[in-house]
Amino acid sequence: MTLFEGVRSALTSLLANKLRSFLTMLGVIIGVAAVIVVVAIGEGLKADVMQRIQGLGTNLLMISPSSRSGRHGPVVRRGRLTDDDWEAIESKVTNVSAIAPIVQGSVTVKYRNRTHASRVLGSTPDIMTTQNLTLAAGRFFTTSEERSRARVVVLGSTVVEEIFYGRVLLEETVRIKGVPFRVIGVFEEKGGSWGSPDDQVYVPLSTARQRLLGRSTLSTIYVSAASTKVVAEVEESLTQVLRRQHRVRNEEDDFRIRSQEEILTTMSETSAMLTRFLAGIALVSLLVGGVGIMNIMLVSVAERTREIGIRKAVGARRRDIQTQFLIESTALSVIGGIIGGIIGIGISKLVGSALGWTTVVPLWAILVAFLFAAAVGVFFGYYPSRKAALLDPIECLRYE
Amino acid sequence: MSLIEVRDVEKTYTMGSMAVHALRGVSFTIAPGEYLAIMGPSGSGKSTLMNLLGCLDKPSAGTYLLDGEDVSQLSDDRLAALRNRHIGFVFQQFNLLPRANALQNVELPLQYAGIHDRREKAVTALAKVGLADRAHHRPRELSGGEQQRVAIARAIVNEPAIILADEPTGNLDSRTGRDILQVFDDLNQTGITLITVTHDPDIAAGCHRVLHMVDGKLANDVNNKRPGGEAP
């Protein structure tokens, strides 16, 4: 019997029990579809994050406070960034094109009866350079406005969408945490969905601190190196300056400096790990599908005992019987895999367009899911087929 | 040389802790072209003997030579190949594959013989039993007699030396049964050795030779003198 004939006869017998075959495949269908959807969303998230981070300046270094353990035990000391640090960097670190100290916090933005929960970012005009921001209309605040704690605000595109219905209304007054601000500019959309700068409002640093957040420390300091070549050098001298500032000698630093490259790596590693973890769970459902196949194959072997007897009587060898049932179980899982693959790709596309998420279905995910499904069919079909092959022809022919 | 040579064959089953002696030393030979019946009451060991002759089972002791080859020592797969080439089975319940049509059922032994051009041979075999026009019917669309003819076509398609029939008319009315026996007679005329296990004395009466089994032993070996009964 050739392989082609084997496949044809397997399909014939699967078609004889259409509903049962379909229900058996369902486990594999769901498993494969789940793997593909999970990977598609994960890969989409990764691409999204990458795009967002690459939108920031390429020479960017981000300084943020970090916690460290106390000198004499596990007491956690929270690091702080202050204006002194900022000034020290400004005076002592060379090859720097822009320094933007930042404070951030959650606020509500209100215009007439429209309210929108957003984030405020207080900084100096240098933030335009470090974050690669582009204005769609109006202007950014000036250094003198920053010094005088002016109540002026530049809005991200999402905020404009939410409170102005997308209209550009310069010189209007919006209330941030109840404090009236004059809108002086609007940013161009930057893209990216999670925590995008589009959903932020930018105000002068001093204004944010005193009128909105009531905080004297800094959340972050963005430093743009003068060129890509000097990023490492700048990072090194930043570390030295901040250590001296914070009197860090032999203990852990109480701050962190991350370059854009590091953030990219961390982000992509994290999302890859998450994707793998979720895909792993989805693969488990494939295994469960395999158990379903084994179950039905055992039933099928029992039901077809007489057929096995007839085939053996007319000359089928063990291998012939085993191959026949293995082809059937593999056909179940492979067809399930194909259907699941199509459904998975469909759902990924649907999720992409319905929720506005970026989804990417990589070829490797389809191949892995499909091969795994086929392997499941062979693996879980082996025992039932072996059982069928070893049946005694006399017993089979006597079987009612 | 004899086609079948059975020497001191014993078969013992264990059922639970009990040993059942189904065959207690049976010896006989069958020449090519014989037309022979095996008779005996239930439990006499005739089915066991049938299974052994059909290479579906191996003897516990003694030797069974099929066409000069000692079958007692062969592996399951070698036995399968022997059944495929040398033996055609006809069962009381017909034992056709319900989802396959007549032609596909007849092709089955050829499939396991690894023959690729099966259609023609299968059609010829069906024609021999007078069912050429029913080739594409499934078993449930055929009468009992027609089903048994398909089974006979399946048994002869690979041109075996022997046909083993187990109560071939047991599920048929007497007229249809006679038709089937006529098919057997015709096949025997072409040189095929026919061995029938039966309760029916009428069938046995039509055979050239009758082996009577009692309690796992060969009680009687009767030669019905019938003109023209010898092998060609």
- pLDDT for the residue numbered B231: 42
What value of ipTM does the predicted structure carry? Answer: 0.92
- Which residues in chain B are contacts of A311 at CB distance < 8 A? 108, 112
**Closest chain A C-alpha to B223 CA, distance in angstroms:** 30
Mutation target among B75, B99, B121 for the A interface, most CBs of A within 10 A: B99
| Partner-chain residue, chosen from B91, B97, B154, that has the shortest CB–CB distance to A307 | B97
Note whether A315 contacts B81, CB cutoff 8 Å: yes
Note whether B83 contacts A314, CB cutoff 8 Å: yes
What amino acid occupies position A14? L
- pLDDT for the residue numbered A295: 94
How far apart CA B68 and CA B2 sit, in angstroms, is 8
How far apart CA B80 and CA A208 sit, in angstroms, is 89
Parts of chain B with a pLDDT under 70: 1, 225-232
Q: Where are the alpha helices (DSSP H) in chain B?
A: 46-53, 76-86, 102-113, 118-128, 144-156, 174-189, 201-206
Q: What's the domain count of chain B?
A: 1
How far apart CA B56 and CA B166 sit, in angstroms, is 13
Note whether A313 contacts B81, CB cutoff 8 Å: no
**Closest chain A C-alpha to B144 CA, distance in angstroms:** 18
Helix (H, G, I), strand (E, B) or coil at A156: coil
Judge whether B2 is closer than 8 Å to chain A, CB to CB: no
Task: Tell whether B155 is covered by a domain.
Answer: yes
Average pLDDT over all residues of chain B: 90
Task: Tell whether B195 is covered by a domain.
Answer: yes
Tell me how far apart the 2 most distant CA atoms of chain A are, in Å. 101
**Closest chain B C-alpha to A384 CA, distance in angstroms:** 19
Q: Which domain holds residue B180?
A: 34-55+76-223
CATH number, position B180? 3.40.50.300
Judge whether B138 is closer than 8 Å to chain A, CB to CB: no
Q: Count the helices and strands in chain B (H runs, E runs).
A: 7, 10
What amino acid occupies position A377? G
Note whether A319 contacts B85, CB cutoff 8 Å: no
Note whether B83 contacts A310, CB cutoff 8 Å: no
- pLDDT for the residue numbered A380: 94
- pLDDT for the residue numbered B94: 92
Task: Tell whether B23 is covered by a domain.
Answer: no
| Partner-chain residue, chosen from A13, A317, A394, that has the shortest CB–CB distance to B80 | A317
Note whether A317 contacts B112, CB cutoff 8 Å: yes
Write out chain A's pLDDT in tens, 400 residues. Answer: 677 888 888 888 888 889 999 999 999 999 999 989 988 988 888 887 777 776 666 688 889 888 766 556 566 667 788 888 888 988 888 888 889 999 999 999 999 888 999 999 999 998 888 887 888 899 999 999 989 999 999 999 889 988 988 888 889 999 999 999 999 999 988 765 555 678 899 999 999 998 898 888 899 999 988 887 888 889 889 888 888 888 887 777 888 888 877 777 787 788 888 888 888 888 888 888 899 999 999 999 999 999 999 999 999 999 999 999 999 999 999 999 999 999 999 999 998 888 878 888 888 888 888 898 899 999 999 999 999 999 999 999 988 7
Task: Tell whether B18 is covered by a domain.
Answer: no
Task: Tell whether B129 is covered by a domain.
Answer: yes
Note whether B80 contacts A13, CB cutoff 8 Å: no
- pLDDT for the residue numbered A252: 77
- pLDDT for the residue numbered A76: 64
> What residue segments make up the domains of chain A, in order of their start?
3-51+266-398, 60-259
Interface residues of A toward B, Cβ cutoff 8 Å, are 1-2, 5, 12-13, 16, 306-307, 309-320, 393-394, 397
Task: Tell whether B4 is covered by a domain.
Answer: no
Q: Residue A387 burial (CB < 10 Å; 0-12/13-18/19+)?
A: middle
User: What is A210-272 written as a DSSP string?
Assistant: IIII---SBSEEEEEESSGGGHHHHHHHHHHHHHHHHT-SSS--SEEEEEHHHHHHHHHHHHH
Task: Tell whether B204 is covered by a domain.
Answer: yes
Mutation target among B89, B91, B105, B108 for the A interface, most CBs of A within 10 A: B108
In the 8-state DSSP scheme, what is residue B141? G
Q: How many residue pairs bridge chain A and chain B with CB atoms within 8 Å of each other? A: 60
Task: Tell whether B70 is covered by a domain.
Answer: no
Q: Which two tokens stand for residue A283?
A: 């693969």
**Contact assessment for residue B163 and residue B194, using Cβ atoms and an 8 Å cutoff:** yes
How far apart CA A393 and CA A42 sit, in angstroms, is 53
Note whether A397 contacts B96, CB cutoff 8 Å: no
